[in-house]
Amino acid sequence: MTTFLVWAPAARRVQLRAGRRSARAVRAPGGWWTAHAPAPPGTDYGWQLDDSPDVLPDPRAAWLPHGVEGRARVYDHAAFEWTDTAWTGRPLAGAVLYELHIGTFSPEGTFDGAIGRLDHLIRLGVTHVEVLPVNALAGEWNWGYDGVGWFAVHQPLGGPDGFKRFVDACHAHGLAVLLDVVYNHVGPSGNHLPRFGPYLTDGAGTAWGDVVNLGEPTVRRYVIDNALMWLRDYHLDGLRLDAVHALVDPLAGRGHPHLLAELSAAVERLSGELGRPLPLIAESDLNDPILIEPRADGGYGLDGQWDDDVHHALHALLTGERQGYYADFGSLTVLAKVVRDAFLHDGRFSSFRGRPHGRPIDRARTPGHRFVVCLQNHDQVGNRAAGERLTELTTPGRQRIGAVLLLTLPFTPMLWMGEEWAASTRWPYFTSHPDPVLAAAIGPGRLAEFERHGWDTSAMLDPQDPAAFRTARLDWTEPERPEHARMLELYRRLIALRAAEPELRDGDLTAVASGFDEAAGWFVLHRGTLRVAVNLAGEPRRVPLSGPAGELLLATGPVALDGAVAELGPETAAVVRTRATPAA
């Protein structure tokens, strides 16, 4: 007999339908119901509540082969034959992350298709793969952030066994796997959670969906259990927590820790049990170091956070864009601040927000590897009206400069799939919502949002148009073409250089220094005895190295070393070893 549990505190009667059998559930403490039935793995099942004839999928279903509207299927996590028993994980310090979307990473758009491309990632030299959300959602393709079946893997991607094969194969290649998870809202389509209990907050919502009710202890447990499941049952190496600034925790500060602190404590215990690191990385636009400060000091105890200010500083500098949230960025003065302090807005006035924003970090106590930075990511590319990459927004020379800066900063660098070969494929927003009302509203809603922020919407595709999904897939013939192969070789050399030079991996932010000339367009970053010299101008520049030049380790264009000066060609970056004492 198999025992089934479901939380339905308001229900008067609950019936289990397993295969062709029915079993009356018995009320248990705390609003739970329990039922027993002969249901081996592979049996389809669902729940009926009160007088409704609907058979609903289990809110904790591990397998939804019929989609989020169909019955769940009994799944045995212990049945999968793992081969990674010797895997001990990889730390976040010294890591190079690679963000990818399973549905558009390979032509097949599946976990097995992605496995076929892992050799490319090994040759590239990245250490961690960060996968966009894979939980079950309505429709066939989607970015993944509209999930409603939190404990199940989306069947069109390959289902639960497909994901396990992918993780197992990554570990066999020496790659750690992080998963993007969404706990701030539930997707707008196929969501049956409110029929079971108060999973959501009445009258509250985000731009993406209904707010999760963190004031209910069982729902808090639902979130934490989900995180632990991915790490334990899928052998994942960490989680990226989506938009934690949208988490509404009414219990925090009322004799109860914030959900994120509660989560980090639970994951820390599991990490100790498993004997490998399980970093939690938050996405937040608050610029608040409370996320990564120790729980003992009142922080949430997470391991890292995305740092949008570094992205904005690089993007605005390389492209010249100043609209929307790029308004305060784009100067070398700003770049010098963010490479030292991680945030530009650390209590400073934000013109985009119209108020002071953020809080400073303690540079002496906060290592740089706790900040994940990027030139591009799914948000910054996909949330443009047409999904353009940097390839379309700046020159090849400035793209190369961006790559050099990204991979020599004192932070944890993250690449967006295809960036390494300057992919020309766009990555627009795409959905396949089966609800016709929702489907019809998606496009006009996005259009209005982009127009408010000043984007050119002339090339925007309707997210529901299958062409939006098809055009987002990477073109794997591009890396073989000369112009793309040169960029790929640069990324390989940069990642290898970062791995070989401890000074480039040093996260001590108190040791970071820089110099620049705003008018002349040159910038130099000091990393111990190494200098990362950049010329953004369209003509040669002489860049002072603050020490006699020794060895030229890497260059993206013409470079001549002359004593303590590097003469750089137009739009050129170089990494030079000096005979200087590291900057204080």
The per-residue DSSP string of 34-48 comes to EEEE---TT-EEEEE
For position 257, what pLDDT does the model report? 95
Instruction: Encode pLDDT of 268-291 as tens digits.
Output: 999 999 999 999 999 999 999 999
- pLDDT above 90 for 211: no
**Options 58, 130, 242, 303, the catalytic residue:** 242
In this structure, are residues 150 and 226 in contact, taking their beta carbons and an 8 Å threshold? yes
> Can you give the three-state secondary structure of 240-257, one letter per residue?
EECCHHHCCCCCECCCEC
Top pLDDT among 154 and 448 is at: 154
The per-residue DSSP string of 63-97 comes to --TT-TTS-EE---GGGS----TT-----STT--E
Q: Which two tokens stand for residue 314?
A: 């690089």
Q: Is 242 in the active site?
A: yes
Q: Which two tokens stand for residue 197?
A: 């209990």
For position 417, what pLDDT does the model report? 98
The average pLDDT across 303-326 equals: 97
- Alpha-helical (H) ranges within 198-258 are 217-233
Instruction: Encode pLDDT of 429-474 as tens digits.
Output: 999 999 998 888 888 878 777 777 667 777 788 999 999 999 999 9
The average pLDDT across 478-500 equals: 98
For position 582, what pLDDT does the model report? 64
In percent, how much of the chain has pLDDT > 70?
97
Residue 422 CB neighbours (<10 A): 23
- pLDDT above 90 for 387: yes
R_g of the chain, CA atoms, integer Å:
25
pLDDT band per the 50, 70, 90 thresholds, residue 203: low
In this structure, are residues 522 and 543 in contact, taking their beta carbons and an 8 Å threshold? yes
Question: Minimum mean pLDDT among 75-89, 109-123, 212-226, 428-442: which range?
Answer: 428-442
For position 453, what pLDDT does the model report? 67
**Options 283, 307, 346, 420, the catalytic residue:** 283
Q: Is 283 in the active site?
A: yes
The average pLDDT across 247-269 equals: 94
Top pLDDT among 244 and 206 is at: 244
pLDDT band per the 50, 70, 90 thresholds, residue 229: very high
For position 219, what pLDDT does the model report? 97
- pLDDT above 80 for 20: yes
For position 447, what pLDDT does the model report? 76
Q: Which residues does 176 contact at the CB level (< 8 Å), separation at least 6?
A: 89, 90, 95, 127, 128, 129, 170, 237, 238
The average pLDDT across 259-275 equals: 98
For the chain, helix (H) and strand (E) counts, in that order, are 16, 30
For position 205, what pLDDT does the model report? 58
The average pLDDT across 218-225 equals: 98
Instruction: Encode pLDDT of 518-541 as tens digits.
Output: 999 999 999 999 999 999 999 999
